[in-house]
Each structure stands twice: as C-alpha cells, then as structure tokens.
Structure 1
Amino acid sequence: MEHLWVTIMDMGIAAAIALFLPVVLLVVWKHRKQDIRMAPFIVGAGVFIVFALLLEQVCHYLVLNRETPLAAFINSHDWAFILYGALAAGVFEETGRLAAFKIVLKKMKNKETAVTYGIGHGGIESILVVGISMVSSFILVCAIRSMGGVESYVALVPAESQEILRGNLNTLLGTPAYIFLLAGVERISTIIFHIALSVFVFFAAQRPGKWYFYPLAVFAHMFLDIFAVMYQRGIIKNLAVMELIIIAITAAAAYFAYRLYQGDKEPDVSSAKN
C-alpha cells in the first residue's frame, strides 16, 4: 500500500489549496486595501450557493432528469448537452452577479467591490465543490491504508453493500494521483476567472454605458465551460489539454479585466468602514 502515499499527498495538497486559497486571498486583499468591506465577499459566496447550487440544479432537474422529448434530445446529443450545460452555468452565475451588484451591493460603487465579491464567489465554490470532497477522499484513503487494504475496509459494512462499496473504492484508488493534484491547481485559475468575470459584471451594473460587459461575461463563462463539459462527455480525453485551455481562457479574461479595472477613474464613493 506504499503507493497510496502519493495519492494521499496529492489529495492533501489539493484540499489545502481548495480550502485555504480563498482565505489567503481575502487576507492579502484586506491587507492591501484596508478600507474594503466584507459584505461583497459574503454576498459573493451567497450568490454562488443560491444561483449555482440551488437554482441551476433545479433547472437541470427540470430540463435533463424528467422523461420529456427535450431531456431525451439533450442527453443523447453531445453538442446539445455541451451547449446547454455551458449556457446554463453562464446565465445563472452571471445573472446572480448582476443581481448582486444591481440590488444588494448597489451603493458600493468602488471597483474594489468587484474583486472582494469575486474572491467570495470563487472561494466558496472552491471550498464546497473541491475542498470538502477532497478532504473526505483524503480521510477515506488514509483509513484504507491504515487498515491494510480495500477488503479490510469493505468488511466493515453489511454484505449487501460490499460489492458497490468495493467498486467505488477501486475506482477511487485507480485514479492517477496527479488527477487529484490538478483538481487543486485548477482552483487557482478558477478563482482568478471568477474575479475577472466579477469585474466585468460590476462595470455592467455600476458604470453608465458598460451594460455590454454582462453578456460578455455570460459568453466568457459559457466558452470556458464548453471545454469542461467536453471533457466530462469524453470528447476531450486528455485532462492536461483541458486544463491548459482553461488556463489560456482565464489568462485572457484576467488581462482584459485588469485593463478595465486599471482604467476606471470613478472616485471611491462607498463607505470606507468595515
């Protein structure tokens, strides 16, 4: 079972990145901009939970999981599934951002609000989607190693559940260790991407004449997710290729968001107190 040490190490690194990177980013950002408020961070986290984990999932259930001609068509055609999945992610998350900046944070017109919000939105995704599951897998693999193998662990459950558990554990342990590490590293680019899109949507909501940055953010989000869904459907078979594409798209979005952010001359009109 010595080979499990590599898996355990990569899981641990991935879990640490996913759980602590958002906290580190917030602390560093708060240190650099000592007058920023915490409200955008909290709102960003809340919007992701409501729009991505609740509303978007309800949409998926209504569109994909019922016995309808539409569901059958989308599920049986890769291109339809890819377009639907990417579009749903873009529309729900970016509309959530727009609602946050237009309604909840409408009085906070300083551009730093966008970055703080982006850390919250991308950070809670990192923690909930990758961090918690990676910690669970880490604990599970450590337990299997300490008990001497899969069979010793499987023996703890009722006989009728052993075959399913054995299959799940063998799938987990058969996954190359670097896959877990990449899941953590991907969180870095994903949080950067969320910050960039938050800048776009903030300008759409808070700066006159910049409305077009909202559909641009929807398109950018959709474009990135197309490649993620293509990997999910097995069209892109190499994870490294998919990650490189995501990094390239993130770099482009971050560059344009940085230019937009730096070019903003609006005065800071928000409250400076936390």
Structure 2
Amino acid sequence: MVSQLSIVSMVVQLILSIGFPIFLLIYFRKRMHLSWKAVVVGVLTFVVFALGLEGAFNFYMVETNRFTSNLIKNTPWLMALYGALAAGIFEEVGRYISYSVLLKGFRERQDGIAYGIGHGGIEAIFIGVKQAIPNISLALMVNSGSIQSLIATQPMLVNVKKALIETPFYMYWLAGFERMGAVFLQIALSLVVLYGVKNKKIGYLFLAIFLHAFMNIFAGLYQMKLLPLLVVFVLLVIFAVIAVIAIRKSRKWFA
C-alpha cells in the first residue's frame, strides 16, 4: 500500500509546481506591471527550445546515434555533464534569440522578470504535472489493487509499484520545493541574458550557459547515483538564495 501521507504529498508537489509560478506572476504583475508578451514569449521559448529542439537533439545523441549513445550511457559522469550542457546551451541561446528577435522593445528589468516567470513557470508546471499526475494515479491504483491487471500486460510496472510504496513522503515535498527554487534560477538567468542583450555584451550569454550547466550538473550526478540527495538539495537552496539576491541586485544593472 502507498501511504495516504505519500499521496497527500504528491498532491502538495503538484500544487506547489503549478501554484508558485502563478503566485509569482500575480505578485510581480501587481508590483511591476509585467508585460504579458514577455511572459508568453518565455513560455513559448521553453516549449520550442527545451522541449522541442533540445528534446530532439537528446534523442539523437542518447538514443539514435550509436557511438554517442554508447559513450554517454556507459559513462555516468559524462551523462550528467552532457545533460547539464545541453540544457544550458539550448535554453540560454533560446533566451538570447527571443530577446533579440521577438522582444526588441523589451529591455527593462521587469521584462526580464516577466520572461523568466514565463520560462521558469511553464517548466515547473510541465515537470510537476508530468511527475505528480502519473504518481497519484498509479498510487491510487496500487491501493485499490487495480494495478495488478496492468502489471499482467506491463511487467515493468512492478518496479514502479515498489518505488511508490518505498519512496518516503518527504521526497515529494522536496520535488515541489525544487521546482520553486528552479523558477528563481530561471528568472535570474533571464536577467543576466537580458543585461547582455541590452548592453550588446555577448559574454553574458556564455556566462548564463555556464551558470545554467553548473547548477544543473549536480542534479544529473544525483540521477546517476553519484551524489546523495541531501547534498544536491542543499546546493539547490544555496543557488536559489543566490538567485533571489541577484534578482534584487538587478535593480542596479538596469538603473
């Protein structure tokens, strides 16, 4: 049986992943009169560059190309590094192109925050829904016993069932908080790239790529079982705090 506390925690994870970006949008919209266009462009850029282009590139590199697939899959630290770099390059280049082409007249701090909420918010919602909804559905099926009929046709669900039963409830809370921290990181990176575009300094794009990849690699190392979860979560909290400080300091960047 999956504990009721775990199921409630899955629901909390879903609420945090969806609710936090909406809260930030409402909060900053009232304080800074954010542009809806910048928010929507942030959403679309994540969909096109992260889900579309990066997803297709990853499929080719990790699944289709025999040489790179064998190399990456058989080298855990390389898999973590590759995933971090791919995310950094595709998302930050997408940001840069969107600012340069679609948001030519949007060069102020509030525009970077609006874009970041759109980009980071849809990422949080997408990942939160993708993780929480299947978990909640399968957990309810485990508790009702109806999952056994699925296991008969999909034996791999045995491992899913076991994971749902054995995963501590607090893991779902951590997943929700991780999404909240990631939104702040996306806003901060959006401001870094916008500052570079506004001042015609391409170096800030490369800085954003490096920072994005650097922060992502620890999550990749955890997924490859090379780092404990506690270390990764502590680092995420540190990165999120630095991101919040950077967002506040960005007033001076755009003064």
Category of TM-score, reference length = shorter chain: over 0.9
Contact kept, 8 Å, 2:195 with 2:254, in 1: the verdict is no
The letter of the residue matching 2:170 is Y
Distance 2:35 2:128 in 1: 27
Deviations 1:83-139 (A, max 9, x none): 211111100000011011111011112220000110110110111111343133223
1:61 corresponds to 2:59: yes
SS in 2 for 1:65: helix
Deviations 1:62-94 (A, max 9, x none): 212125323322222233222211111100000
Distance 1:56 1:154 in 2: 34
Distance 2:151 2:245 in 1: 55
Of the three residues 213, 218, 239, the one matched with 1:227 is: 218
What does 1:130-145 correspond to in 2, within 5 Å?
130-145=128-143
**TM-score normalised to structure 2 length:** 0.92
Unaligned runs of 5+ in 2: none
Distance 2:151 2:250 in 1: 59
Aligned residues: 255
Bigger fraction of residues in helix: 2
- 1:164: which partner in 2? 156
1:157 to 1:253, Cα distance in 2 relative to 1, 3 A:
closer
- RMSD (Å), alpha carbons: 1.9
Distance 2:220 2:18 in 1: 24
What does 1:80-119 correspond to in 2, within 5 Å?
80-119=78-117
Contact kept, 8 Å, 1:200 with 1:257, in 2: the verdict is no
1:52 corresponds to 2:50: yes
- 2:28: which partner in 1? 29
Distance 1:201 1:72 in 2: 34
Q: CA deviation at 1:253?
A: 3.6
1:71 corresponds to 2:69: yes
Distance 2:219 2:142 in 1: 31
Distance 1:188 1:119 in 2: 11
Distance 1:20 1:174 in 2: 27
Distance 1:159 1:72 in 2: 32
Quick one: percent identity of the two aligned structures? 29
Contact kept, 8 Å, 1:106 with 1:206, in 2: the verdict is no
The letter of the residue matching 1:196 is A
**TM-score normalised to structure 1 length:** 0.86
